[in-house]
Chain A
Amino acid sequence: MTCTVRIASPLRSYTEGAATLSVSGRTLAQVLDSLEARCPGIRFRMIDEQDRIRPHMRLFVNSSEAQQLTAAVADGDTVHVICALSGG
């Protein structure tokens, strides 16, 4: 299963500037593991040590926001990594 991951700008230092990457995985957890294998260090900036999505990160599979890393990902899906920040 191959999906496209759209990377928010705060994380592109890990992707050599790439805004999208193609990786494999049947769940969000597997997609993030594939991403980590290609871009070491990126996962921990999004996901904490208890496998929770960090408070200012949002992960969508296509147009549905995922609350858990168990969310299913199908071939051809797009995973959006979005940063949510307020204030100055």
Chain B
Amino acid sequence: MAETLWIGTRKGLFALRALEARRRWRLLGPQFLGHVVHHLVQDPREPRVLLLATRTGHLGPTVMRSTDGGRSWREASAPPAFRKAAGEEPPRAVERVFWLTPGHRSESGTWYAGSSPAGLFRSGDGGERWEPVAGFNDHPMRPQWAAHGTPDGEFLHSVLVDPRDPRHLYLAISIGGVFESSDRGESWSPLNEGCAADFMPDPDVPFGHDPHCVVQHPAMPDRLYQQNHCGIYRLDRPARRWQRIGTAMPRKIGDVGFPIVVHPTDPDRVWVLPMDGRTVWPRTSIDGRPALYTSENAGASWRRLDRGLPRGQAWFTVLRQAMCADRHARTGLYFGTTAGEVWASTNSGESWRCLVRHLPEIYSVTHAA
């Protein structure tokens, strides 16, 4: 499949096709014009298979599937949905499918989806039919785990499948925290020790945190990084206590943001894109000067990367699914803004250029090859 950046936006799906070894990019689309595209993910087991999480302003949420690299799409025959409420149970309905994760490489056709309100769903047939994961959705503690969502609801995201063991899963809920399962989703427990929850009456709580994005290093699956509402963290399993590595960020920048991206092969290399979390939480680039920060020592120190990015009056917001890396030796990094710009670096973030402007609000940027 041709190297492509898939751009999910509030008003449709776009693609940037790499030409001349990433020196030029051609904008394709839109597909699904007017549809909200929350996430698009390529299946690493079958690279021509893509899954897309979508809805429209009017219509309910669904999942679309392509088996020809995004040329044509077919809707899931049973999209993610909660089970029917029983008795006095509060009825739950999926408002948006927010996140997609391919299953373990040994489980062809298995996918996970995360929703808002917080729900976990699994497909065993490549995304055609979805079933609720009862072990999480009906867990007796789930109402407490996801008790303090905003009016937009809680978002279940960052579903991680341990590449060594298909039974070992992580997920994150904004707001709710990080949770772990070692039995393929049958049972779950919170994994939030060490994370701050400054917005809670008691900041030292076992759950109720706001992880914005959690990633697992593919070459060192015991290493997790987390960009949280309250800081940047690293966890090296089997430890259970997150270490706040954002304390090494410059004090005037802080360690608030949405996305966090790991290097494809070096577990010590990570990138974040800080945002303004002061006063009323503008969530823009800090002082209008966008920059990434990278660490090459697992968060012990950070270095600013802003060459080519605007020097001022640039009020970027970059959402959690809207930054990614490719797998080239000279790592490509890409992010999309809520103002509809896509920026790229093909030298690990050292310099940046804008690939496209004037797209709708960007929700996700994913790399496929």
Contact = CB atoms under 8 A, between A and B. Distances in A.
B92 A45 contact: no
B81 interface: yes
B59 A10 contact: yes
**Chain A interface SS verdict (over half):** loop
- Chain B contact-residue range equals 10 to 19
A63 interface: no
A11 interface: yes
Interface string A6-26: 001011000000000000000
B198 to A, nearest CB: 32
A44 B62 contact: yes
A85 B92 CA distance: 22
Interface in B209-262: none
A44 B94 CA distance: 11
Interface in B48-105: 56-60, 62, 75, 77, 79, 81-85, 91-94
Nearest to B132: A49
B359 to A, nearest CB: 15
A10 B60 contact: no
Given A41-B75, A41-B77, A44-B79, A50 B58 contact: no
A57 interface: yes
B58 A85 contact: yes
Contacts of A50: 82, 84-85, 91-93
B77 A45 contact: no
Contacts of A49: 81-84, 93-94
Contacts of A35: none
Contacts of B62: 41, 44-45
Given A49-B93, A50-B92, A52-B91, A44 B81 contact: yes
Q: Give chain A's interface residue range (CB within 8 Å of chain B).
A: 20 to 34
B93 A48 contact: yes
B60 A54 contact: yes
Nearest to A49: B81
A40 B83 CA distance: 20
Contacts of B77: 40-41
A85 B55 CA distance: 13
B274 to A, nearest CB: 29
A38 to B, nearest CB: 15
Contacts of B94: 48-49
Contacts of A48: 60, 81, 93-94
A85 B84 contact: no
17 contacts: A40-B77, A41-B75, A41-B77, A44-B60, A44-B62, A45-B60, A46-B59, A48-B94, A49-B81, A49-B82, A49-B83, A49-B94, A50-B82, A50-B85, A56-B57, A57-B59, A85-B57
Interface of B: 56-60, 62, 75, 77, 79, 81-85, 91-94
Given A48-B93, A50-B92, A85-B57, 18 more contacts: A8-B58, A10-B56, A10-B58, A10-B59, A11-B59, A40-B77, A41-B62, A41-B77, A44-B79, A44-B81, A49-B83, A49-B93, A50-B91, A50-B93, A52-B91, A54-B60, A83-B59, A84-B58
